[in-house]
Amino acid sequence: MFENLSVTESFKNSITAAIRMSKLSHALIFEGADEATRLSAAKEVAAALVCKGEDKPCKSCNACLKALKDSHPDIHILFKEKDSTMIKVDAVREIKTQALIFPNEGTKSVFIISEAQYMNPQAQNALLKIFEEPSSHVCFILTCTSKSSLLDTVISRATSYTLGEGLASSEKGEDDKAVIIAAELISSLVGESEFDFLKKTASFIKDKKLFREVIERMISFSRDALILQSGGKELLNGEREEVRLLKNRFTQKKTFELTESLKSLSADLDSSANLNLTVTRFSSVLYGIKVN
Ligand SMILES: [Zn+2]
């Protein structure tokens, strides 16, 4: 199992042992490594759960072949919609409905939630309700960069696995960089100091991945500020200084405008061929919100 994936031996061993003994938890969290590796690993585990062969996944029985072709009726994969920055509560509610139905072909239905860090708190809470009353025929696999982006209540009801230390830490390094820049941008957006986006956004022109990550983080921060402004408590990022600043210095209307503008910039990034132009637009749109 996992022959072609660069995952740690301890992950391989613990998962294969759990599958062999049919002791796999009904909710799994796969963190670390990179996105493609996480998804492939989740798909292999899903194949093992529906496999009708001996050494699961045998990769030769009918169920495995369907699983490998992504066409097994009992394996469901939820991705973030392309034009959205979040996995919304409706998508999770849909899963909740599907999870009540018995499997079509085997004894298990598997629901993979790819990049679960994009689930907003409402979506995570909806998922929690399913986790609390698990059906024996259902297994959930959540993949994410780091489980720290999930609510503690979700983490505590699942079994977590780290797929790759090396890759995880390098990806984390990039995450940290994006978090730092996003925090700086939010602070200078609401701060008294001179609004100097140009210097901070210079690195985006050469690094689309970083730019995307920074926008995602900023959306996440401004969503947290919105949650605080509407009296909510369950934050995606925990207590953060720049979120508190944003909450105090921006009106709810302005924070909402910021969130929506960032979402639209994120969508732009997908379709735009000219990164330079998007970076410029990013600066001017956010400056517009600051001065208005
Ligand atoms: Zn099989």
Domains in the chain: boundaries = 9-163, 168-291
| pTM, to two decimals | 0.62
**Centre of ligand 1 from the C-alpha of residue 51, in Å:** 4
Give the pLDDT of residue 239. 79
**Centre of ligand 1 from the C-alpha of residue 2, in Å:** 14
**Centre of ligand 1 from the C-alpha of residue 228, in Å:** 49
Give the pLDDT of residue 234. 78
**Centre of ligand 1 from the C-alpha of residue 5, in Å:** 18
**Centre of ligand 1 from the C-alpha of residue 16, in Å:** 14
**Centre of ligand 1 from the C-alpha of residue 209, in Å:** 37
Give the pLDDT of residue 169. 41
161 three-state secondary structure: strand
Give Cβ neighbours of residue 145 (< 8 Å, ≥ 6 apart): 31, 32, 35, 115, 117, 171, 172, 175
Which of 32, 29, 16 shows the shortest CA–CA distance to 166? 32
**Centre of ligand 1 from the C-alpha of residue 68, in Å:** 10
CATH 3.40.50.300 matches 9-163: yes
Give the pLDDT of residue 121. 81
**Centre of ligand 1 from the C-alpha of residue 225, in Å:** 48
**Centre of ligand 1 from the C-alpha of residue 192, in Å:** 62
**Centre of ligand 1 from the C-alpha of residue 240, in Å:** 47
Give the pLDDT of residue 195. 59
**Centre of ligand 1 from the C-alpha of residue 110, in Å:** 15
**Centre of ligand 1 from the C-alpha of residue 199, in Å:** 54
Q: What is the pLDDT of residues 152-182, one digit of tens each?
A: 889 999 999 999 863 334 444 555 788 888 8
**Centre of ligand 1 from the C-alpha of residue 158, in Å:** 25
For residue 254 the two structure tokens come to 């302005």
Q: What is the pLDDT of residues 136-150, one digit of tens each?
A: 899 999 999 888 778
10-residue averages of pLDDT along the chain (292 residues):
88 93 93 90 97 94 95 94 80 91 92 91 88 88 86 90 62 66 86 66 83 90 92 81 89 94 87 84 87 78
**Centre of ligand 1 from the C-alpha of residue 47, in Å:** 7
**Centre of ligand 1 from the C-alpha of residue 270, in Å:** 37
**Centre of ligand 1 from the C-alpha of residue 52, in Å:** 5
For residue 201 the two structure tokens come to 């956004």
**Centre of ligand 1 from the C-alpha of residue 60, in Å:** 5
Contacts 24+ apart (CB under 8 A), 264-271: 265/215, 266/85, 266/212, 266/215, 266/216, 266/219, 267/83, 269/208, 269/211, 269/212, 269/215, 270/82, 270/83
**Centre of ligand 1 from the C-alpha of residue 57, in Å:** 5
**Centre of ligand 1 from the C-alpha of residue 1, in Å:** 12
**Centre of ligand 1 from the C-alpha of residue 65, in Å:** 7
